Chains A and B, each alone.
Chain A
Amino acid sequence: MDGQSGFRDPSTIHFQQDFIRRYIIGSYWLIIVLALPLWWQTTSIERLPLPTSEVYLQATKKFQLPLELCADSAFSGHVPAMQDLIRQSASYLDAKIILGRDCSMYQFSGYAVLPGTQLAIQDKTLYCSPDLPVDNFTSVLLSLVAPPMDRRAAQYAPRYRLSFTLLNEDASAGQVIISWDIQKAIIQHISPITSALGTLHNFTIESQVQFHAPLAFEPQPLSDGTYGLTPEDLTVFINSAEWTLSSSSSNDPVLHFVLFVPSTKRRPLVILNSDGSSSNSSAFLIPQWGGVVILNLPPPPPTMQFLEASELRSSFSTFSRQLLTLLGYPRLHPSISSLRKTALTPWQIDSLLRQRMHENIVRSHDTLRSTVTLVSQIEGMPVDDKVHSQVQGSLKALHELFDFARTHLTLEEMLTLSARALTLSSKAFFHPGMLALLYFPAEHKYAVYTPLFATAMIPMLAAALRELAAWRKERKARAAAAVIPEGDKNVNEPNSSDTAVSADTDAMDAGR
């Protein structure tokens, strides 16, 4: 066949024109470029930036609570020693002691130390004999202003559940306490405390009666017919496998108060001291958990019994003391007597408030710092807007709190802010979204992508490079043609070997 006459030149066909081919290659690349952000967005994990530097800065800040105390001029000799001691033992207090004659005016706004015949406290005023030695005076005042925190106290929570449980060890053994006058007992003994400490915590009270509450061990029979609980027994006294004490339905911490009625076979049940002698007390406290009172009812036992409020009096006054200890309420110095009937003095409640506030601030600082450190250490950890806003909210509460001097916050408002900071920071730390580490690690991702993208990218890259080379050559040739006079147009025929390589054999086949 004659090749010269039968065929059109392929470069004159519409779809074989150079610019069409370049458009095609270019559009492929354009799609890849456009798809990259989408790919990036769908495969990256949400990690909102946390205010790291702000958190570190905040965590280094020291909180200083002002405390104004007015001392009568009769105590002028005691003041410097007192101020030093407060500064040493409670660094969070910025104590300012005013010496003056008109301290009685302070009785209503701040704390006052007035001369009196005996050591006594009323509301926010301490009466004290000026003849008291300096050491005694400072220790008494320190116990009011900055008492040491009891290790047995539970950690601060804005809301506690108080769970009262009456446990019959074995109701089928002869005697059953079928019910108790819990509501009256609570009104008499617990409500005064919960209402006085209402500024610190909210309380939910619940009670139950159980009729079979076996012990996990056998109490020792003693020679005098009683049964004894050794200090080791007390550590395993709570039988959580058999007693349903825990409340499962909310996250609020629970303080348990257990009134344990031993079986008639094991009565009376007494607590032994470590030397083996029987203790006077029939109650014990489990730090940060609750309290237990053992109620040995006098013989002869009636088979069914309802416990009146009067019979619960001693047990519930023990419970109320245990509750105060668990809530961290400071004990009054033994030498001070209270002039009011109530067990709680406003001065001590304020001190507890300050202590709790300090504790909250330290804890929320720690939690915030741990959160940002953890997030910066683990790169695959997602941080969503919820965590972000919780961290921000916690910081905001802390800022507001540290700004108290300007905004004149009351102690209660400051405590609320510190509690909010603590709650938000621990919520952020324990956010379940952060625990879910990356399910699909980066290596896994590349292992899935490489077989697809590497094989597809190679022809695209090759085509793009070849086209680029052809275009540059063409441009060079055109520049040369501009110098050479017209007529020698044939030079520009696009049959240069490198552009035709891929199609050569096919073209020949088509030619035949």
Chain B
Amino acid sequence: MLKTSLVIFLLLFNSVFCIKQAAEEFEENLSLKSLRDGRVTSSFSFKTLLRDAAPRDPRTLALDNDDSQHYTLFPLTLGQILRQYAITELHLTLNAGKWNYESWGYPDESGVGVGAELWAWMADGSPSSIDERWQGLRNALAGLFCASLGSLDEQRTTSPRQSFPPQGDLPDWGLPHELRHASHASEHVCTENLTPFLKLLPCKSLSGLATLLNPHRIFDADWHGIGLHVLWLPEGVEVRLNVQLVSDPLRISSTNKQDWSFHSLFDRKVDQACPIAKTSRVAVELPSSGFYRVHPEPLEIKDGQAYYNLKIANEAWNIGTMWPTDFEYPLSKPNQALVPFSVQRSLRGSTQDRGELSIVVTNHQQNTLQLRYLETMPWIIQFYLHTIRVHSDGVLKNDLISNISYVLPVAHSRPATFESILTLPGGSNLTFTMNVAKAFLRYTEHPPDAQRGWDLPPAVFTPLLQSRDDSIGRIYTPSLLVDLATPDFSMPYNVIMFTCSVVAFIFGSVFNVLTRKFVVVRLEPTEIQDN
């Protein structure tokens, strides 16, 4: 009886990602915005919603028989990975370049940290441990996206729950949910990542907005990144694929105008809308001042945005904005900041064994700001927490840092997690410094090829929810580069020879002294006289 009810219970839970007819929806959106410095940011978002589906209960991983999976719009290859490792929420971003918050404002997709970043929420309770599933997930995604995500190993994996809260819901299975986060700053996005990314879209890059994703232009942009987000929402499981880029029309064009159009930015037009997309919408943010012309005539203008619906007419779309005058670079510093605070992070010190981590945060607002500051540092940089000094406008104020939590690094295996809360009085400039030690690596831990140094992952700042401005989420600092002591690998045998000679010499001398036998030699007096 108990067994039967257990089976029924499991079967109920097992109905994961089960699909009723027409339960899948696909929406595509593109928003374009001209920036202060003449650049244009384009943000593509492709959303697939699997209605009434729920993530897999990890307890069902124990069952050998896997349910069948039937998808129409949802990518099967991704669905298999999510099912096999019972992932509740997943975020993967691959970016190249430094997002300039001061002149570009806050991005549409908050994950703009340089390099690869992967984080996932998983429930415990499966026969295989969370770390095993995390490893499997990394390897599966590495295979799917042709990216070196396998290197996001335990040496880079942390679990900063507060800075990376789940963006969707977590199912209430009575099981604890765990976060795994890893980032790899030197992994750059490239064409081989974009091709498998496009294959996950129902229309690939053959119709709809994805036609514009021309690799020649995306990877030529000043900043570019792709992202994959899987969330569980009340209506179902949502997969969001997004591409963001910041391109410079002034660099491309021969004139001094900041005019842009699909054709000038992507070298393509949208010839056909994706036939299965529920909506296919383009939003252009209108400039706040000056003369300009948006073409073609938008369907609707609302809140300073011009909207187009590509599903209405099957024509070749070449949306753009034109200006009658040349673009003038803003020479003076803009008086109004686009983000409430800005951060500079640097690693100082010239030696190869010590250094100082320095962070300067400027609050552009008049009211006090509280920030959660997170460092996920590989063990090659070790913090000296007792040397933390916090200065506010040049005055030592250590009470501005609070709630420090620190997970110690383990050499050769685990990174450090440093989390704290910084309080910035209105309009102030806060300086945080801390001494660090640089590790001495083992012979085999050095990469086999010539390299420029070790990239350290970006620090993450999250404003605490006291400001009304909820649109600001995480802010990533640029990555840092650290140069560790590197031996001369060109002469290992010479080193071995020298070391061995020295060791053998010392050994010989010590051994000789220990086993020497002294005797008294009696000399004849005549001999002394001779001498």
Interface set of A (CB-CB < 8 Å, partner B): 3-4, 7, 9-11, 13, 16, 21, 24-25, 28, 163, 170-172, 176, 178-179, 181-183, 186, 202, 204-212, 214, 242, 244, 246-250, 303-304, 306, 447-448, 451-452, 455-456, 459-460, 463, 467, 494-495, 499-500, 502-504, 506-508, 510-511
Q: How many angstroms between the C-alpha atoms of A37 and B60 in the bound complex?
A: 49
Contact of B80 among A9, A13, A249, A508 (CB under 8 A): A249
Contact of A459 among B497, B503, B508 (CB under 8 A): B508
Q: Is B288 an interface residue (CB 8 A)?
A: no
Q: How many angstroms between the C-alpha atoms of A246 and B496 in the bound complex?
A: 50
Q: Is B312 an interface residue (CB 8 A)?
A: no
Given contacts A212-B206, A247-B76, contact A494 B511 (CB under 8 A): no
Contact of A207 among B64, B69, B144, B501 (CB under 8 A): B69
User: A208 near B76 (CB under 8 angstroms)?
Assistant: yes
> Smallest Cβ distance from A266 to chain B, in angstroms?
16
Interface residues on B, range: 35 or more
Q: Which residues of A contact B523 (CB under 8 A)?
A: 3, 508, 511
User: B207 near A172 (CB under 8 angstroms)?
Assistant: yes
Q: Is B439 an interface residue (CB 8 A)?
A: no
User: A507 near B518 (CB under 8 angstroms)?
Assistant: yes
Name the CB-closest residue of B to A451: B500
Contact of A24 among B144, B204, B206, B514 (CB under 8 A): B514
Q: How many angstroms between the C-alpha atoms of A208 and B68 in the bound complex?
A: 11
User: A459 near B71 (CB under 8 angstroms)?
Assistant: no
Name the CB-closest residue of A to B18: A183
Q: How many angstroms between the C-alpha atoms of A456 and B504 in the bound complex?
A: 5
Q: Interface code B164-200, partner A: CB below 8 Å = 1, 0 otherwise? A: 0000000000000000000000000000000000011
User: A209 near B519 (CB under 8 angstroms)?
Assistant: no
User: A9 near B520 (CB under 8 angstroms)?
Assistant: yes
User: B504 near A182 (CB under 8 angstroms)?
Assistant: no
Contact of B519 among A11, A24, A171, A181 (CB under 8 A): A11
User: A4 near B522 (CB under 8 angstroms)?
Assistant: yes
Q: How many angstroms between the C-alpha atoms of A451 and B73 in the bound complex?
A: 67
Q: How many angstroms between the C-alpha atoms of A504 and B511 in the bound complex?
A: 18
User: A28 near B500 (CB under 8 angstroms)?
Assistant: no
Q: Which residues of A contact B143 (CB under 8 A)?
A: 248
User: B70 near A207 (CB under 8 angstroms)?
Assistant: yes
Name the CB-closest residue of B to A170: B206
Q: How many angstroms between the C-alpha atoms of A250 and B274 in the bound complex?
A: 32
Name the CB-closest residue of B to A13: B518
> Among B73, B84, B493, which residue has the most Cβ atoms of chain A within 10 A?
B73
User: B206 near A247 (CB under 8 angstroms)?
Assistant: no
Q: Which residues of B contact A448 (CB under 8 A)?
A: 496
User: B203 near A211 (CB under 8 angstroms)?
Assistant: yes
Name the CB-closest residue of B to A459: B508
Name the CB-closest residue of B to A2: B525
Q: Is B491 an interface residue (CB 8 A)?
A: no
5 smallest CB-CB distances across A and B, nearest first, come from A455-B504, A451-B500, A10-B518, A205-B68, A208-B76
User: A211 near B504 (CB under 8 angstroms)?
Assistant: no
Interface set of B (CB-CB < 8 Å, partner A): 21-22, 64-66, 68-73, 75-77, 80-81, 84, 140, 143-144, 199-200, 202-204, 206-207, 272, 274-276, 493, 496-497, 499-501, 503-505, 507-508, 511-512, 514-523
Q: How many angstroms between the C-alpha atoms of A511 and B73 in the bound complex?
A: 100
User: B518 near A176 (CB under 8 angstroms)?
Assistant: no
Q: How many angstroms between the C-alpha atoms of A492 and B515 in the bound complex?
A: 21
> Smallest Cβ distance from A334 to chain B, in angstroms?
34
Given contacts A212-B204, A448-B496, A451-B496, contact A499 B65 (CB under 8 A): no
> Smallest Cβ distance from A441 to chain B, in angstroms?
15
Q: How many angstroms between the C-alpha atoms of A3 and B524 in the bound complex?
A: 10
User: B207 near A212 (CB under 8 angstroms)?
Assistant: yes
Q: Which residues of B contact A10 (CB under 8 A)?
A: 517-520
Other 4 A-B pairs with CB < 8 A, given A209-B73, A247-B80, A502-B512: A172-B207, A178-B276, A248-B140, A504-B519
> Among A24, A172, A205, which residue has the most Cβ atoms of chain B within 10 A?
A172
Q: Which residues of A contact B493 (CB under 8 A)?
A: 447
User: B66 near A204 (CB under 8 angstroms)?
Assistant: yes
User: B517 near A209 (CB under 8 angstroms)?
Assistant: no
User: A502 near B504 (CB under 8 angstroms)?
Assistant: no
Please list 8 pairs of residues, one from A and one from B, whose beta carbons are closer than 8 Å in the complex, sorted by A's number.
A179-B22, A206-B71, A207-B68, A247-B76, A248-B140, A249-B77, A249-B80, A249-B140
Q: How many angstroms between the C-alpha atoms of A178 and B24 in the bound complex?
A: 11
> Among B73, B507, B516, B517, which residue has the most Cβ atoms of chain A within 10 A?
B517
Q: How many angstroms between the C-alpha atoms of A447 and B523 in the bound complex?
A: 49
Contact of A499 among B200, B499, B517 (CB under 8 A): B517
Contact of B517 among A455, A503, A510 (CB under 8 A): A503
Name the CB-closest residue of B to A457: B504
Q: Which residues of A contact B521 (CB under 8 A)?
A: 500, 504, 507-508, 511
User: B511 near A244 (CB under 8 angstroms)?
Assistant: no
Q: How many angstroms between the C-alpha atoms of A172 and B271 in the bound complex?
A: 10
User: A172 near B72 (CB under 8 angstroms)?
Assistant: no
Contact of A206 among B21, B68, B144, B207 (CB under 8 A): B68
User: B519 near A244 (CB under 8 angstroms)?
Assistant: no
